Each structure stands twice: as structure tokens, then as C-alpha cells.
Structure 1
Amino acid sequence: MDRTNLLPIGQFAQASGLTVTALRHYDASGVLPPARVDPDSGYRYFRRDQVRTAQLIRVLRQLDIPVEQVRGMLARAEAGADLAPALAAHLKAAESRLAVQRALVHGLLTRLSEGAEMNHRVTVRESDAERVLVRGATLKNSGLDGFLRTAFQDMYAVAGRGPLTFTGPAFVRYHGVCDEENETLVEACLPFWADGAQPTDLPEGMSVHDLPENTFACTEVTGPAAGFPAILTAYDAVADWISTHGFTFAGPVRMVYRRWTGTPDHPDNRFEIAWPIGEPTQHAP
């Protein structure tokens, strides 16, 4: 190998804008292996034409693209692929995350200054036992909209064959926190008359559940407040009310479609957040 075409790691670091530590890390992770490693000293040397690759790595990492994804993008670039679509997708995802973070910060500031209870009136209602058609999946918030649209479409198709007599609005049961940090079991539910026609030939993943009568702590959200992540403050308000009044949490929380236009953030949307509660375990302060 022509050593005149090689740069020692220190000079290469200066040329590429990456630190020596970063270059060692990218070597270990297989993203940017050196052209030569001295067998005696272990000193790394890089080809001069690797500078542009290192600069590209620096920019991709500044965009918070994970190392594993950077390695794949470099491999595709070496094969002649255009990186523009991947970068555009990353930008779109970053903008979406930023929008969510802005909404979360705004909601947090409102909560700190006014309190969640100022914006969400919590009431209590009773519910009879229900028979529901259910389709569930374990997912994060990014997969929620697509799952619910498909799940309800499939369930309405099954219900129409009966035809089933609906006894109330569709709802979703969340068995845990569903955001981009956590995945949880989510169940799309259609309540129908237990004494009428029953669904048959259920597809895989769809089932019928009998839910017991319940007492719910509830609040309603409308318009943009019913969109993610603004709606999280409504869940928090109900949870705070249950805790403050000494009730027990008696099951997964529901999001009930009181009025749904089919378009997120539409001003005519109206959801109910309903959390099953049990008898107080202690007197409220």
C-alpha cells in the first residue's frame, strides 16, 4: 500500500472533523475501518479518499441518525443508491417528534401554571355489563392510528354480517402507557347486544369478550385537545382525580369515540376518557 496516500489518525481527525475517540468508535462498530493498522503499535491510518466518508458520517450523526442506520446508509451509498429518500424520511420523522415535544412542553407548562383539573372536569358514571367484539395488538403510539383504522374496519365488516345491534359507541382499551417510549396492549372494542345476533367466523386475532359492569371516572376532550399528545393531559387529570379521591384503579382505561369525524384534530371530534374505579381504600384528604 502506498503510504503517501495514508493519513495518521490525528491528521485524519483534523481533516474530517471527527475526534480520535469517535474514529476509534466507528472503527470498532464497523462504520469506518482504517485502511491500515500498524501491527506493532496498533496505530490507525486512513486513506485520503476516506475523508469525505468521515465527513458524511459526522453530519449523519449530527442528525441523530443511529450508528447502525449510518452503516446501512453508507453501504447503500457505496452501492450507488441515492440517500435523499432516506434523509427526507428522517427529516419528516424528526419534524414529527419535534411537533410532539412542543405539544408536550405546552401541555406541561399549562399543567404547571393552571393544574390539569382546571381544564378537565371529572365526573362519575355507571356502566352495565357489556359484550364486545375485540381486536388487540401490542404497539407504540406510532403504530396506533394504522392499527385502529384496520381493526375497526375489519370488525365493522364482521358486525355487518350479523348484523349486530350496537349498544354504544366504539372504544379503545389501553392496558398501559402507549407513546413512543412504551408499547402496550391496545384493544379496539365494539359493544353489541348480547341477546341479539352474534358474530360468526371471526378472523384470527378477533374475539368476543364479556366485560363486567363498571363505575368510571370520566372526562371529555374535543377538537385539537383530543389529538396526541394533548390528550395525555386528560388521562393524567382522571388518574390524578382517582388518586386524590382515594379510589382504586379497576381496569384498563378507555378512550370512547363519542363523536369521530375520521380526521385527527378535527374540531368536531369528541372523546371520553373513562377509567374503571373501585371502592375507595381510604378517605380522601
Structure 2
Amino acid sequence: MDVVDGEPPTGRPGAGDRVAGDLLTIGAFAARTRLSAKALRLYDRQGLLTPAYVDDVSGYRYYRADQAERARLVALLRQLDMPLARIAEVVELEGERAADRVAAYWAAVEARLAGQRALVDYLRAHLSGRSSELYGKFEIETVDVPEQWVLTQRRHVLADELPTWIGASLGRLEEAARECGGITGAPFVVYYSEVSLESDGPAEACVPVADEVAARAWAGGQGRAWETQARREPARRLVYTRISKAQVANPQIHAAFDAVGAWIAREGGLEVAGPCREVYFADWDAAGPEDPVCDVAFPVR
């Protein structure tokens, strides 16, 4: 029989229910735990807090008094806006393991809030016309990059997938470059269109290599499994600014690109001549938060 949402008239199981007399109705249990019957029904559907007994005839739900602690834990975790699926993991753990899982969740929340706080500062400066205050923090330079052959992998990717994809793709290409005469320049990522939570680029990971013939052969052979290509990257003049590892995140990296774009517009006589890019010239894993690791750049003519 389907479970129903009401209460038995007496507030306790009937004489023929074969349940212990210390079971609590959903109403009594809700009052004891300071949770609503609606919340308890939700927790039941999610498998977080299953009633101790459901009457076969009436469908009424009953709880044991010792389930109250688990119910309160679920409610407290919900106050952290923890997803129900994550709560299901925590309540099945004990002691330090459960505490560590909560700590890991909150560390991720704080990291997200820090990024959102920085984004608010960026938007306030941008919308109030104080963008120059942000741009002034970046030193703009130019560099001429010679023609080079690159191994590449291109993908449509959203912003939350981007860091993982960049690391994996550049790692594969750098390994392949060993069979193509070695790496001859800093790896870079080209953005052919915006990458955000709604827009998926595409983006292209590129690693410069020494041997054109070997690169083309590798791309046409082993590289097919990863949809790798080999292409000629023409000589370019880049306008760029150098940023730290901590700044390779939103919105700091957007502010850096905006600063470069504003500098190009302000200088005059220059025209953007291709999609923007990030050039990764340092060992990402070994770098600290304040170490310079990346140039954000626009090609110009």
C-alpha cells in the first residue's frame, strides 16, 4: 500500500500493528526534531532517513526516538546548502571521516565564495566606470613570436571543465612532443570564442615542436585517438600581460584580458589580428599562488 501523509486518529499504532509502543508518529517525530513532516517525507524519498515502520494497512509512518539525532544532522547539513546527495555520503560515515567530508565541502564553498567576491568587485568597478583602476594593476608588454609548428587538440568546453581539460590536453601533447623533436616554446591555449558557463568556445591547446615531419606523422597516426592535429602557427606580435597562478581564475583573468584590450585600443595604430590566448611558460604544479605562470595575450598587426 502507498505510504500516506496523515496521522492515525490515536497518534499511535493500532493494536494489530505489531510494532513497539515507543515508536513515534511522523507528527510527534517532527515535533521532537523541530522538522516539518514535509521535510521528513523528502528525507525518506532521498533515502536519508527511512521510517522505522510503515503500517501495511494504513500506510502511516513511524520513527524510533533514536533516529532523532540523524534527523537533526541532516537538517544541520541542509543549513549549509549541502546537496542531498552529499548529505547521504556524510550521514553514512562516522567520527573524523564524517568531519573531514564536511570540512572538504566547506572549503570548496569558501573557494567559490572568494571567487564570487572577486567577481563582485570586478563588476562594481566595471559598471561604475572605474575599470581603469583594475587595468592599472597590469603591466602591458609586446613580444614577437616566430613561426612555429604545433601539435594541437581542439574542444568545445565550458568554463567549469576548462582547467581539467587544459591540464590533461597539454600533458598529452607535451608527452607526444618528445617524439617530434621536443618542445620548442611555451605551451598555449587559443580561445576561438568565449568560454563561460553557457558558452563552450571552442578552445585549442597547442604545444610547439621542433620536427614538422614527425609532428604531422604523429598526428596522423597515434594522435588520431585524441583528435590531435599538427599545424603551422604563423609568426605573430603579441600584446600581453603576465599574471600569477592565483590570477588564472575568474574574474582576475578577465580583468587581465580587458586590460590588454584597453591598452590596444588606447595606443592606436594597432588592430587585433586573431583570437586571444593564454601562454603557460612555468611549471604549474611547482608554482605558488603568487608566482607568475601565464601570459594573457592578443595577437596584433
TM-score norm. by structure 1 comes to 0.70
**Counterpart position of 2:278:** 255
Which runs of structure 2 are paired with 1:262-273 in the superposition (5 Å)? 262=284, 263=287, 265-273=289-297
Which of 229, 254, 278 is 1:232 aligned to?
254
Query: Does residue 83 of structure 2 align to residue 66 of structure 1?
Result: yes
Q: What's the CA shift for 1:52?
A: 0.9
**Counterpart position of 1:223:** 244
Q: What's the CA shift for 1:189?
A: 0.5
Tell me the SS of whatever aligns to 1:273. Answer: strand
Q: Which moved more, 1:12-21 or 1:195-204?
A: 195-204
**Counterpart position of 2:172:** 154
Tell me the SS of whatever aligns to 2:93. Answer: helix
Give distance in 2, aligned partners of 1:20 and 1:216.
66
**Counterpart position of 1:109:** 124
Q: What's the CA shift for 1:169?
A: 3.5
Q: What's the CA shift for 1:45?
A: 2.8
**Gap change, CA 1:209 and 1:7, over 3 Å in 2:** same
Which runs of 5 or more residues in structure 2 are unaligned?
1-17
Q: State the aligned residue count.
A: 271
Give distance in 2, aligned partners of 1:156 and 1:107.
35
Which runs of 5 or more residues in structure 1 are unaligned?
278-285
Q: What's the CA shift for 1:237?
A: 5.8
1:84-133 Cα shifts (integer Å, max 9, x gaps): 33223212212221222222223223323412684479999998886421
Q: Which moved more, 1:39-48 or 1:16-25?
A: 39-48
TM-score norm. by structure 2 comes to 0.67
**Gap change, CA 1:221 and 1:165, over 3 Å in 2:** closer
Computing the radius of gyration from Cα coordinates, the structure with the larger value is 2
User: Cα RMSD between the aligned structures?
Assistant: 4.4
Output the amino acid matched with 2:102.
L
Give distance in 2, aligned partners of 1:18 and 1:176.
48
Which runs of structure 2 are paired with 1:1-285 in the superposition (5 Å)? 1-37=18-54, 43-74=60-91, 76-77=92-93, 82-113=97-128, 114-115=130-131, 118-119=135-136, 131-136=149-154, 144-164=162-182, 166=184, 169-174=186-191, 178=195, 185-192=202-209, 198=215, 200-201=217-218, 202-203=222-223, 204-205=225-226, 207-210=228-231, 219-223=240-244, 226-229=247-250, 230-235=252-257, 253-257=276-280, 259-260=281-282, 262=284, 263=287, 265-274=289-298
Give distance in 2, aligned partners of 1:14 and 1:148.
52
Q: Quick check: 1:6–1:45 contact (8 Å CA) kept in 2? A: yes
Give distance in 2, aligned partners of 1:182 and 1:61.
31
Q: What's the CA shift for 1:146?
A: 4.8
1:17-63 Cα shifts (integer Å, max 9, x gaps): 32222122222333223234456765433221211110111112112
1:202-223 Cα shifts (integer Å, max 9, x gaps): 4431522436769999552433
Tell me the SS of whatever aligns to 1:198. Answer: helix
Q: Quick check: 2:90–2:102 contact (8 Å CA) kept in 1? A: no
**Counterpart position of 2:4:** none
Q: What's the CA shift for 1:267?
A: 4.4
Tell me the SS of whatever aligns to 1:5. Answer: coil
Tell me the SS of whatever aligns to 2:21. Answer: helix
Q: Percent of aligned positions with the same letter in both sequences?
A: 30
Q: Quick check: 2:180–2:209 contact (8 Å CA) kept in 1? A: no
Tell me the SS of whatever aligns to 1:4. Answer: coil
Output the amino acid matched with 1:274.
F
**Gap change, CA 1:253 and 1:207, over 3 Å in 2:** same
